[in-house]
Structure 1
Amino acid sequence: MVKSVNEGEKVEYIKEVKEEKTRYRWLKIGSNISEEQKQTISQIPPKMENRCQALLKQIICFSPENGSISLMMAAWVKSMNPQRADWLSVLKELERLNHPLYFEVVEHALTEESFEANVRDYTKMIHGYAKQNKLQKAENTLLAMKNRGFICDQVTLTTLVHMYSKAGNLKLAEESFEEMKLLGTPLDRRSYGSMVMAYIRAGMLDHGESLLREMETREIYAGREVYKALLRAYSMISDSRGAQRVFNAIQLAGIIPDVKVCGLLINAYVMAGQTHEAVIAFDNLRKADLEPNDKCVALVLAAYEKENKLNNALDFLIKLEKDGVMIGREASELLVRWFRKLGVVEEVELVLRDYASSA
């Protein structure tokens, strides 16, 4: 009997110890907090519900010595009985503050019944992890979402395409895109655009361009950044035909090319050794009432330098000067290098002056 009593006391003692370990010691926010914490707390909106302010202050002043984030959140739920609106209020403020514990709080919120988690909540979490290049955490969140019985919708799958594209995993990006098509919902520009970017990152420019044409047949046009990315990719590999096709597609989509877009087309022709076409592209830029930047001027000069056409380059510069266009640092440095090769650095000023007077 004595032994039974002792064992009973031991079990009760172990139970008390476990309960003590699972308790969270709620902090008393006073003068003992740091100046940084005081500053952050001062940013909490005064009109926020008191129960939400209380949790925010605990998160801001959180210390692992008092327990875990999960224990803290569980204690808040038990004592405050929050509703979804309270959760969203806290999370919105943590996101605004860019607080380092934001993701941990969201992870716990997703498991709480009072949060009433939905597909969009999980999608936002996946997108947040993807932005931070935390692919494994994003996939863990996706798995947790599926385990709870939620089905991926178009927004979630678009997020996955973008995530896998950014991570360089074309296979998973394509699988997510095909799964999106099977939903039967018409794809929007963002869904298409994410897949086009995946092909661009994978160096499969023809696939990306083909997808853009598919979009055009459905009268869906990608954003400027997608067209620009494809144009840049063609430009960098000296594919002037591809660059011109994309440039035409940009205008077909109703997007007005800016100086940077025109510069990418000029660069494509310069790298392809097509000086005449590069100059035409530059002239078209001027005809569109766009002010050429230093990069565009330098590109035309580089094209003339490749063909050793000094006179053409000087005529080009004089014409720009007459139109009030001043050359910048990049174009100037290119000229200096070119003239140094020719051994006429000191004579440059005289030559330009002669050209100016004859013009």
Structure 2
Amino acid sequence: MAACHIFSMATYASNMICYPHPANPVINGLRKTHHLQFTGSTFWAIPMSLCSNGHHFHRPLAAASVEETAQTESKDGKPRFKLDAVDPEITEAQKQAIAQLPYHMAKRCKALMRQLICYSPQKGSLCELLAAWVRAMKPSRAHWLAVLKELRIKDHPLYLQVAEIAVLEESFEVNLRDYTKIIHGYGKQNRIEEAVKILSNMKARGFICDQVTLTAMIDMYSKAGHVKLAEETFEEIKLLGQPLDKRSYGSMIMAYIRAGVPDQGESLLIEMDAQEIYAGSEVYKALLRAYSMVGDTEGAQRVFNAVQLAGISPDAKLCGLLINAYGVSGQSQKARVAFENMRTAGIRPTDKCIALVLAAYEKENKLQKALKFLMALERDGIMVGKEAAETLAAWFRKLGVVEEVDTILREFAETEANSRVPAS
């Protein structure tokens, strides 16, 4: 009965996995959650009785006695999970998924994958299924990883639940990065409480957080809008005493951008430059976009200059963000200058960039200059596309001059032609 008791406690410690439940919202007043122990139905106290002094539990997940074996059997004594067979009445989608399993996948892995593809809680808990597999197939870490990889590739809804159970199993030989992957997975789904629970359990087993794991937490807090928690985690990374890498910096910069304080993100960018650490182009682009959308031309120009100092060649999208910043701020002339500078640099303008210049002219009601701009583009063989045409058409509708457009364009064409005729 002692063995049964241990198995039951392991099952209880995994109750979030074995018994599906709807995701709970983040609790109000969430503090530095990766240092807290939660109570209630969602979290449990750290299961100290399940931990050894090292990184493994005393007992594997697999049943090792008659009492434990009974956990995977129905009341009539028949196995709940037949690993060598599936229900003949499975759906066409399930049949197709099974048929698409990798040809070279080990048979023991395919046996579990078939069960997971056709899994139904009515047959028993997920913990019981995996216990039956471990007992029957004696998997190694490579087998576990093959199953998890396939679940991840298929974007299977049980992926993270299986991963959570796997880290409790001795044959999985869990390491720190296994926990990080689960935390990152929950972070992508904005399931903060589950990620924090995993972090807490990881620490309870003696693993120490590193920069990669804490950066994953920053990403998660950033996307969820918890900038204070992201800041606290960023400070925790600094306490590790190791140089911060561009990913940790970039994650914190993105947190500030999402929180609507790009200037604080720019401060970190300057701190990085001082250490000759350069963020990825996506970080520069996000920061430039943040300034662009509010018409902060000085901030946008600073970031645009920083992009070039970082050795990143500006593209049409980055140039478009700078043009937009000037347009939003009502500086159509500078928007046009930015457009021409882009062309001078050899970057072919997109239709989006042309539309942004037209929008800048519209904001200041400079129709004549806008038409002259279009005529200049036509001379250079640059045709107006759908977005720019729609921007111009909407402007004309507001002015009520749709019918006069052709006349105005002809007049401009004649004016341009006459200006090029040399005086006699």
- What TM-score comes out, normalization by structure 2 length? 0.77
1:238 matched to which residue of 2?
295
Q: 1:302 aligned to 353, 359, 373, which one?
A: 359
1:250 paired to 2:279: no
How far the C-alpha of 1:78 sits from its partner, in A, is: 1.5
Please point out which of 161, 165, 168 is paired with 2:222: 165
Amino acid at match of 2:144: W
Structure 1, unpaired ranges of 5+: 1-15
Taking the aligned partners of 1:62 and 1:336, their CA distance within structure 2 comes to: 56
Matched residue, 2:144: 87
How far residue 193 of structure 1 moved from its aligned partner, in angstroms, is 0.2
Alpha-carbon distance in structure 1 between the residues aligned to 2:314 and 2:114: 49
Q: How big is the shift at 1:301?
A: 2.0
Quick check: 1:153 aligned with 2:240? no
**Structure 1 letter corresponding to 2:238:** K
Deviation at 1:357, TM superposition (A): 2.9
Q: Aligned equivalents of 1:109 and 1:187: distance in 2?
A: 31
Q: Which range moves more in the overlay, 36-45 or 226-235?
A: 36-45
Q: Which amino acid aligns with 2:297?
A: S
Q: 1:123 aligns with which of 180, 205, 211?
A: 180
Change (3 A) 1:44 1:306: closer
Instruction: Name the CA shift for 1:342/1:200 in 2 (closer, same or farther; >3 Å).
Output: closer
Residue 138 and residue 29 in structure 1: after superposition, are their counterparts in 2 closer, same or farther (change >3 A)? same
Partner of 2:80: 25
Shift of 1:302: 2.5
Q: Compare 333-342 and 98-107 and name the one that shifted more.
A: 333-342
Higher helix share: 1
C-alpha contact 2:71 2:128 (8 A) present in aligned 1: no
Displacement after TM superposition at 1:338 (Å): 3.4
Match of 2:190? 133
Partner in structure 1 of residue 272 of structure 2? 215
User: For residue 167 of structure 2, what is the aligned residue in structure 1?
Assistant: 110
Cα RMSD (Å): 1.9
Task: Name the CA distance, whole Å, in 1 between partners of 2:227 and 2:128.
Answer: 40
Aligned-partner Cα distance in 2 for 1:355–1:285: 25
- The equivalences for 1:313-352 within 5 A come to 313-352=370-409
Letter in 2 for 1:144: N
SS at match of 1:151: coil
Give the match for residue 42 of structure 1: 99
- In structure 1, the partner of 2:343 is 286
Q: How has the CA–CA distance of structure 1 residues 231 and 312 changed in structure 2, closer, same or farther, with 3 Å as cutoff?
A: same
- Residue of 317, 321, 341 corresponding to 1:260: 317
Query: Does residue 175 of structure 1 match 2:232?
Result: yes
Equivalent residue for 1:275? 332
Whether 2:127 is the aligned partner of 1:70: answer yes
- Of residues 343-352 and 174-183 in structure 1, the stretch that sits farther from structure 2 once superposed is 343-352
> CA separation in 2, counterparts of 1:71 and 1:43?
25
Give the secondary structure class of the aligned counterpart of 1:57: helix
Q: How many residues matched?
A: 344
The 3 A distance-change label for structure 1 pair 287 and 66 is same
Measure how far apart 1:118 and its partner are: 1.0
Pairwise CA distance, 1:296: 1.8
1:186 aligned onto 2:243: yes
Superposed CA offset, 1:243-301 (max 9, x none): 00000001111111111111110111111111221111010111122222222222222
**In structure 2, what is the equivalent of residue 229 of structure 1?**
286
SS for the counterpart of 2:185 is helix
Query: Secondary structure at 1:85's aligned position in 2?
Result: helix
Partners of 2:227 and 2:403 in 1: CA distance: 55
The TM-score, its normalising length taken from structure 1, stands at 0.91
**Structure 1: distance between partners of 2:68 and 2:107:** 31
Secondary structure (helix, strand or coil) at the match of 2:285 reads: helix
1:117-170 Cα offsets, whole Å, 9 max, x none, are 111000000000110111111111111111111111110011011111111111
1:285, 1:47 → 2: CA distance?
52
> Comparing both chains, which one has the higher relative contact order based on Cα–Cα distances under 8 Å and sequence gaps of 6 or more?
2
- How big is the shift at 1:40? 1.1
Return closer, same or farther for 1:53/1:332 CA change in 2, 3 Å cut-off. Answer: closer
More divergent stretch after superposition (226-235 vs 53-62): 53-62
| 3-state SS in 1 of match to 2:203 | helix
- Whether 1:97 and 2:164 are equivalent positions in the alignment is no
Partner of 1:92, secondary structure, is helix
SS of match in other structure, 1:161? helix
C-alpha change, 1:63 and 1:345, in structure 2 (3 Å) is closer
Give, as a single letter, the amino acid of the residue that structure 2 aligns with 1:268: A
Contact 2:335/2:357 (CA < 8 Å) preserved in 1?
yes
Shift of the 287–94 alpha-carbon distance from structure 1 to 2, 3 Å rule, reads: same
Q: 1:341: Cα distance to partner?
A: 4.5
Partner of 1:8: none
What CA distance in whole angstroms lies between the structure 2 residues aligned with 1:87 and 1:322? 64
* Cα 1:148/1:324, change in 2 over 3 Å: same
Shift in CA distance, 17/154, structure 1 to aligned 2, threshold 3 Å: closer
- Between the aligned partners of 1:156 and 1:135, the Cα distance in structure 2 is 14
Q: Aligned AA for 2:332?
A: T
